[in-house]
Amino acid sequence: MNRRDFMKMTGVGSIAASLPLSFKLHAVDEEFTGKFLVNLQVEGAWDVSSICDPKMNVPGEAIVNSWAQQGETQTAGKIHYAQFANNAAFFEKYYQDMLIINGIDSQTNSHSAGVTHNWSGRISAGYPTLTALYAAVNAPNLPINYINNGGYSETAGLTRYTRLSDSYAIKNIVRPTESNWNPDEKWIPDVDNDLVKQLRNKQMLEKLSNGTLTIRERLAINNYKSSLDNASILTRFADELNQVGSLYEDERGTEFWSSLKRQMQLALISMKAGVSVAADLQIGGFDTHSNHDVLQSELMAHTTDSIDFFWEFAGQMGLAERIVLVVTSDFSRTPYYNDSNGKDHWPVGSAIIMELDAPWGNRVVGLTDEGQNVVPINPLTLQPQQNGGSIIYPKHVMQALREYMGISNSPLLNPFPFNNSENFAFFNPSVSTPQNADPRNSIRI
Amino acid sequence: MKEPFDSREYFETKLSEQIIQGRCIACHTGSGAAATSRLQLEPSTTNNHQMVNRAILAEFLGQTGVDSSFILAKVQGLLGHGGAQQLAFGSTDYIALAEYLSLVTGEQVFTDVGEFWSGVGLLSHKETLRKAAIIIAGRLPTEAEYASVADNKEASLKLALRNLMQGDGFHQFLTEGANDRLLIEKFLSAGTDFLDFNAAKLVEGAKMRYQANLDGNYAAFDRNIVSHAYEGYSRAATELIAYVVDNEKPYTEILTANYTMLNPALNILYRGTASFDDDANQYEYQPGKMTGFMLNDENFKSEYFEGLGLRIDSEGQTITWPHAGVLNDPGFLGRYPSTATNRNRARSRWTQYFFLDFDIEKSAARTNDPLALADKDNPTMKNPNCTVCHEVMDPVAGAFQDYGDVGYYKDSWLGKDSLPDTYKWTAGSLYQVGDTWYRDMRNPGFYGQVAPQGEDSMQWLAKKIVADDRFAVSAIKFWWPAIMGSKTLTAPEEISDADYTQKAEIFSQQSLFINHLADDLRQHFNLKDSLVSLLMSPWFRATNMSEAQREKHASNTTGVGMLLSPERLDRKTKAIVGKLWGEHYPEWNNYQLYTDLQQTYRITYGGIDSNGVINRAEEMTSVMSQVALTHAAEMSCGVVLGDFVKADDQRLLFNGFSNRDVPNIVDESSIELKGLKIENLQVNATVLTLPTGSLDLVMTNFAKDYEDADGVWVDINPTIFSLEVISVVSGKTVASYSAQQIFDLNSASVSGALETWQHPSLPALVLYNPGSISVPIAITQAGEYRIELSSYVDIWADTYNLAQLAQVEVPDLAVSVASDDVVNLKTASSDKFRRHLTQMIFNFWGRTVSPDSGEVDDLLVLFEQSRQAKSTRSNWAHIQEEGSSCSFDYSAYNTPEQDGWAMGSDPVYAMSAWRTVVFYLMSDYRYLHE
């Protein structure tokens, strides 16, 4: 049975079924040579005024940031950053490799809506993550094509996500019929395993050719069959894991624990092994309604340190030149403190997009005023434009990333359009948004 | 045919009070939560409100994009309706509204609920019972239970399903299903401040810890009390729910129970009132009250000693916890904690989400208006952008007023309230001594009702919630994922989505069904009856559908095909094959069950940790598929051998079978081997009845290698010089083989050798160990055939006593003739195999097939292919072979007479073939899904 017949037979419901057949027939590139896409989901809402959209305090108004009482807005290359946590080391090392997008209006301060909006591009449920789309377009048949570590993971039925948390467990199961402690011994002799494989496959194909299956059973067979068909190269992943050796243990802070570095290692190892092309990483704990400075400082430092580790490890794996890292959050935090020294929810946030030696690096796009309100900009010149300017919404960032990652023309994306009336020149190296539009942003009181 | 009716009269009698004033007016007014929407209605206090509202509706229907379908979608919660679902599709009010809209617009509207499941086939009663037993009882039904549904009557099935709802398996279903929603088992692997004895709230714990440290017994205290208390804390809420359901108490008691569930350790630390059947069994939960929670009042005196803990010199007042079921269960409060600025709003949100079917987060988009966001003049009370949610959220938050961030009761100094110092003692605070709630928030209450003074507001809230119609709806939705293996659907919001129509219809149908069940639950509040209804429904039982129905059901991921969770797969495996993968009871796990699926591979196989990973996988991935294969591969040999070593009536899988039974035997007999020395060489024979065709003559030696025979160690080696097959009727020889030829045909697998020491010019095939040899024979005339073996038995023994030697019992050589065409063979043995495989398919996969079906054919062929393959590659005559592994502890079967290894003896490789069949059955998608 060829792939055409198989796909016809396995066509399931929902959006996947509405796709043109031609899409489902595209060639599978198991030796993926393109870029890898990684999205770091910073959950709970980070305080962008304490990292990439720094805010000083305004005389006579409530304190925006405690750090600004002693510190200053800093500059690395053309990028402004807050004198907070370990930002200096991070920005000084990577400013040339990053694009900052400030003033992204999430149009909500509800976590669930913000998460959906920022990681799918639409505030209503149902759109897949950028990473899921990228994996579905570029590597539908890789066994771990899309890694998700427990954060927002909508796939809209186009692919399935895999959780990678336990390297030990995975090493043990990539050769299912072999004994773990003695690879020369088999639980099932190869001859019998082959007989079973043939029969299993035959039965599944026969079932799929049966037009009366329920949608769910059809999906179950389809998923299991493709999972088995694609699993053989998982051994490469196990081999790479063995090469790397021990992975990072969980790290803990005052009120957080994090497996971020291990998530990074597992994602990069799987990409190196050729079994993955996209991954969502997750770090939580940023919902700092109290004790904001202490908690955000710890978390921010941990996050930027981890990103540094990510690029260093990617370099060791020989992958650094092929990776695009997107860092986003639910939204941001208020430009003032509450009674518990915390900061509550604020809809206007930022994104950081990183790629080594990117021509579009060392730039900032988008603007907020001293009260962290959006300042409209011209989408092409990126200059502030109070009248007739445009506001950056998550859909604009998503659309630009879809285009930059080369998937925007895939028929797979047809069911997930954005109704953008404008496209922002995020990746045009020749334009950027000046950050000192409001002079009070650099005043220290 | 509908009778014509007057639209005005219809509106006034069917819509105005029931829907417009009963539902819509709560938000759709100029000052309501939907003040910014396009629809503003008039309350019943307005003159001529019915006429006015009819006109408003008519005007609304004239607006762009508004028609009957739009309104009917909105009231169902579709299209992002801020008020979520108000009318369920198919409900009386929904049909009334639809008919009214149809009347005034002339548009056709869809109200028929009967078409949705037409063309969809359901599991039979027997299949339904099996699937339900696996899901809700973690076992297979008994034969008696199957027999009880054989009449195919609905009532019989309902009763059988109801009867499954008892015992440990059902209890596990309940606690697991409840935790999947509440996620309190997070604390099985994470700390909780509630059990922090330094806080001296659990005074008994503080005292015990201090004394244990003083006595140098802290390790024992930690192991015997603290670790179990953590477990009790993590499970109390789910145990409470299970207790209520198990005992058929009103389901409302999950919130109104004035007790909690305690294990012995928690009972000690809480100074609980529970009594146990076995005080040493920390896994026994009994109802009781917490009476030892201490308030830090003026009587409380203590001193902290480094390394010892808190020495309590004088206890403060201890209180009896004012239990309100799950709502103030310490684990629930800890899992959904608060902060000084959150002020129990998160608890309000989750309470309404779990128990009132109301998701505040989705009820209305939060404002992003900069002015509103910057409004610091108590916006949750005054700013309409904020009050839209806070007016329903904050009173419920207030009802949690006595519980602090961690979940302690009145945790402030002196134990008067749980208000934070940042509120009470900052400049300009509205706080007044004696307050228990914030003055800048709404009063504790519930949807317009204020919690009365003098009554515990938590217990009052519990009563209000269970009296609310939405409580029953939430109960059905709470249990839906546990039964169906998928979440309830959320209303699609974007009509432009390609699959909007499909999703909207499924959502409508699901809502209709859930609301019907909720209506029913309100009548009796016995959850078991609702669970029966869920199990009886097509949502659980759908197993096939016509081509025409597939499009309609394209987004319907219920029915057959539910991916089993690691825990459920484990229990299913235990029920069917009698073992668990990696089952052991390690000391470090308090001698509790540890399995590979539930622990080692739980997250990898799509399970949850109730902490960072909280959603179960509903679809198989490549990594999960390899876990499933490893599960089947590692277990299958041990499963087969473990079953065969049991007495026949104790077996789960192979009762009635021996390790010599194979399916393709056309006739069989045995040959008594006479002649104990070469000089006694003779022809030993038997007669078989054979059909025409290409057959295999198989001779199997069962004599073990060097074994104890009543005190004499003997090695019995059947020795064959030649073989002839002779037609009894014609006397013609149809096959003739020399020892050399027999050996050549079986050289790779025979456990023997060609020897010439018996007779220099006549090579003999000496069979050293149990095993089989075979030769092909072609039969052109059916009939009786005489099998003649020129043979004797060579015996080595540790005795020279010939008389004693003569007493040694020599097993007969089994002779059988097998057909290559196992599929078309019709013999007693093949029939027996077909019936057995049919039963195995049903047990493993839940599919009813005929013994003559293709599935059974496939298994027969697999069995024979596997057996033949091993026969040609191995001479071990054992379930294991060179380079193989088997998860079976042979040493457990060692006896003075016999090495346990002998339990794996597999002379005709039947057990080896069964291992392959079991591996296949356990690795098929039908085993992994239900």
**What is the pLDDT, as a whole number, of residue A92?**
98
B374 vs A contacts (CB less than 8 Å): 371
- pLDDT tens for B380-422 read 777 777 777 888 999 999 999 999 999 999 999 889 999 998 8
- pLDDT tens for A232-265 read 999 999 999 999 988 999 998 887 889 999 999 9
pLDDT(A128) > 90: yes
pLDDT(B111) > 70: no
- pLDDT tens for A345-371 read 999 999 999 999 999 999 999 999 988
Band of residue A13 on the pLDDT scale cut at 50, 70, 90: very low
Judge if B806 and B681 occupy the same domain.
yes
- Contacts with B90 (C-beta within 8 Å, 6 or more apart), sequence order: B111, B113, B508, B509, B512
Angle (CA) B611-B234-B343 rounded to 5° is 70
Query: Structure tokens of A93?
Result: 């090392």
Pairwise CA distance, residues B928 & A153, whole Å = 23
A204 vs B contacts (CB less than 8 Å): 925
Distance spanning both ends of chain A, measured CA to CA = 73
- pLDDT tens for A163-213 read 887 888 888 899 999 998 888 999 999 999 999 999 999 999 999 998 899
Pairwise CA distance, residues B642 & A17, whole Å = 46
Angle (CA) B458-B464-B467 rounded to 5° is 145
pLDDT, chain B, mean: 91
Domains of chain A: 36-175+233-442 (3.40.720)
Judge if B131 and B146 occupy the same domain.
yes
* Number of structural domains in chain B: 7
**Is residue B269 within 8 Å of residue B202, measured between CB atoms?**
yes
Bridge partners of residue A40, in order along the sequence = A281, A327
Band of residue B371 on the pLDDT scale cut at 50, 70, 90: low
Q: Is B666 helix (H, G, I), strand (E, B) or coil?
A: strand
Judge if B522 and B541 occupy the same domain.
yes
CB-count burial class (<10 Å; 0-12, 13-18, 19+) for A264 = buried
**What is the pLDDT, as a whole number, of residue B1?**
38
Q: How far is CA A4 from CA A201, A205, A213, B807, in A?
A: 17, 13, 20, 71
Judge if B255 and B298 occupy the same domain.
yes
Band of residue B493 on the pLDDT scale cut at 50, 70, 90: confident
- pLDDT tens for B237-247 read 999 999 999 99
Q: How far is A429 from chain B (nearest CA, A)?
A: 31
| Residue type at position B626 | Q
**Is residue A41 within 8 Å of residue A263, measured between CB atoms?**
no
Band of residue B348 on the pLDDT scale cut at 50, 70, 90: very high
Q: CB–CB of A163 and B544 under 8 A?
A: no
Pairwise CA distance, residues A185 & B149, whole Å = 46
**What is the pLDDT, as a whole number, of residue B771?**
84
**Is residue A426 within 8 Å of residue A360, measured between CB atoms?**
yes
Angle, in degrees to the nearest 10, between helices B910-923 and B622-644:
150
- Contacts with A298 (C-beta within 8 Å, 6 or more apart), sequence order: A85, A253, A254, A256
Give the residue from chain A lying closest to B924, CA to CA: A200
pLDDT(A24) > 50: no
| Residue type at position B283 | Y
B581 vs A contacts (CB less than 8 Å): none
**Is residue A328 within 8 Å of residue A303, measured between CB atoms?**
no
Judge if B811 and B898 occupy the same domain.
no
Q: How far is B820 from chain A (nearest CA, A)?
A: 17
Q: How far is CA B743 from CA B74, B750, B755, in A?
A: 82, 8, 10
Closest CA to B281 of B224, B204, B213, B222: B224
Band of residue A17 on the pLDDT scale cut at 50, 70, 90: very low
Band of residue A20 on the pLDDT scale cut at 50, 70, 90: very low
Q: Which of A9, A212, A280, A331 to mutate to test the interface with B (most CBs of B within 10 A)?
A: A212
**What is the pLDDT, as a whole number, of residue A129?**
97
B182 inside domain = no
pLDDT(B757) > 50: yes
Nearest Cβ partner for A185 among B544, B627, B885: B885
Minimum mean pLDDT range among A436-440, B218-222, B397-401: A436-440
Pairwise CA distance, residues B917 & B864, whole Å = 10
Judge if B371 and B487 occupy the same domain.
no
How does B706-742 read in b/e, with b if 16+ C-beta sit within 10 Å?
eeebeebebbbbbbbbbbbbbbeeeeeebbebbbeeb
Minimum mean pLDDT range among A257-261, A278-282, B553-557: B553-557
DSSP classification of residue B772:
E
Pairwise CA distance, residues A54 & A64, whole Å = 10
In the listed set B819, B854, B875, which residue is the last one of a domain according to the structure? B819
Q: Choose between B74 and B182: higher pLDDT.
A: B182
- pLDDT tens for B31-47 read 877 888 889 999 989 98
**What is the pLDDT, as a whole number, of residue B679?**
67
In the listed set B767, B787, B819, which residue is the last one of a domain according to the structure? B819
Strands (E) across B392-434 are located at none
The mean per-residue pLDDT over the stretch A326-335 comes to 96
A228 vs B contacts (CB less than 8 Å): 622, 625, 629
Residue B759 has a CB neighbour count (10 Å cut-off) of 12
Nearest Cβ partner for B553 among A179, A215, A225: A215
DSSP classification of residue A346:
E
Judge if B145 and B198 occupy the same domain.
no
B640 inside domain = no
- pLDDT tens for B429-447 read 999 999 999 999 999 999 9
Q: Are strands A36-42 and A323-329 parallel, antiparallel or unpaired?
A: parallel
B40 inside domain = yes
B124 inside domain = yes
Pairwise CA distance, residues B623 & B627, whole Å = 7
Band of residue B622 on the pLDDT scale cut at 50, 70, 90: very high
Judge if B795 and B687 occupy the same domain.
yes
**Is residue B581 within 8 Å of residue B631, measured between CB atoms?**
yes
Strands (E) across B352-464 are located at 445-446, 449-450
Pairwise CA distance, residues A432 & B139, whole Å = 65
B915 vs A contacts (CB less than 8 Å): 188, 192
Pairwise CA distance, residues A73 & A95, whole Å = 15
Q: Choose between A7 and B815: higher pLDDT.
A: B815
Minimum mean pLDDT range among A322-331, B313-322, B715-724, B839-848: B715-724
**What is the pLDDT, as a whole number, of residue B374?**
66
Minimum mean pLDDT range among B259-268, B808-817, B889-898: B808-817
Half-sphere exposure of B926 (CA within 13 A, CB side): 19
Pairwise CA distance, residues B575 & B140, whole Å = 6
Bridge partners of residue B707, in order along the sequence = B714
Pairwise CA distance, residues B282 & B901, whole Å = 39
B189 touches chain A (CB under 8 A): no
B341 touches chain A (CB under 8 A): yes
B522 inside domain = yes
Band of residue B209 on the pLDDT scale cut at 50, 70, 90: very high
Q: Is B339 helix (H, G, I), strand (E, B) or coil?
A: coil
**What is the pLDDT, as a whole number, of residue B127?**
97
In percent, how much of chain B has pLDDT > 70?
A: 97
Q: CB–CB of B341 and A202 under 8 A?
A: no
Q: CB–CB of A144 and B621 under 8 A?
A: yes
Nearest Cβ partner for A144 among B545, B623, B883: B623
B770 inside domain = yes
Judge if B718 and B814 occupy the same domain.
yes
A169 touches chain B (CB under 8 A): yes
Rounded to two decimals, the pTM is 0.87
Minimum mean pLDDT range among A249-258, B106-115, B313-322, B479-488: B106-115
B173 inside domain = no
Q: Is A289 helix (H, G, I), strand (E, B) or coil?
A: coil
In the listed set B517, B552, B587, which residue is the last one of a domain according to the structure? B552
Nearest Cβ partner for B883 among A113, A166, A186: A186
Phi-psi region of A315 (alpha: psi -120 to 50; beta: other; left: phi over 0): alpha
**Structural domain boundaries, residue B94:** 7-105
- Contacts with A121 (C-beta within 8 Å, 6 or more apart), sequence order: A127, A130, A394, A395, A397, A398, A399, A418
Q: Choose between B273 and A110: higher pLDDT.
A: B273
**Is residue B648 within 8 Å of residue B655, measured between CB atoms?**
yes
pLDDT, chain A, mean: 89
Q: How far is CA B584 from CA A118, A186, A240, B700, B891, in A?
A: 45, 22, 31, 38, 17
Judge if B673 and B814 occupy the same domain.
yes
Judge if B570 and B522 occupy the same domain.
no
Q: Is B248 helix (H, G, I), strand (E, B) or coil?
A: coil
Return residues 381-420 of A near B (CB < 8 Å): 415
Band of residue A437 on the pLDDT scale cut at 50, 70, 90: low
pLDDT(A161) > 50: yes
pLDDT(B110) > 70: no
**Is residue B756 within 8 Å of residue B762, measured between CB atoms?**
yes
Judge if B443 and B547 occupy the same domain.
no
Angle, in degrees to the nearest 10, between helices B167-182 and B469-484:
110
- pLDDT tens for B263-297 read 999 999 999 999 999 999 999 999 999 999 999 89
The mean per-residue pLDDT over the stretch B92-110 comes to 84
Pairwise CA distance, residues A309 & A281, whole Å = 13
B297 touches chain A (CB under 8 A): no
- pLDDT tens for B536-545 read 999 999 999 9
B179 inside domain = no
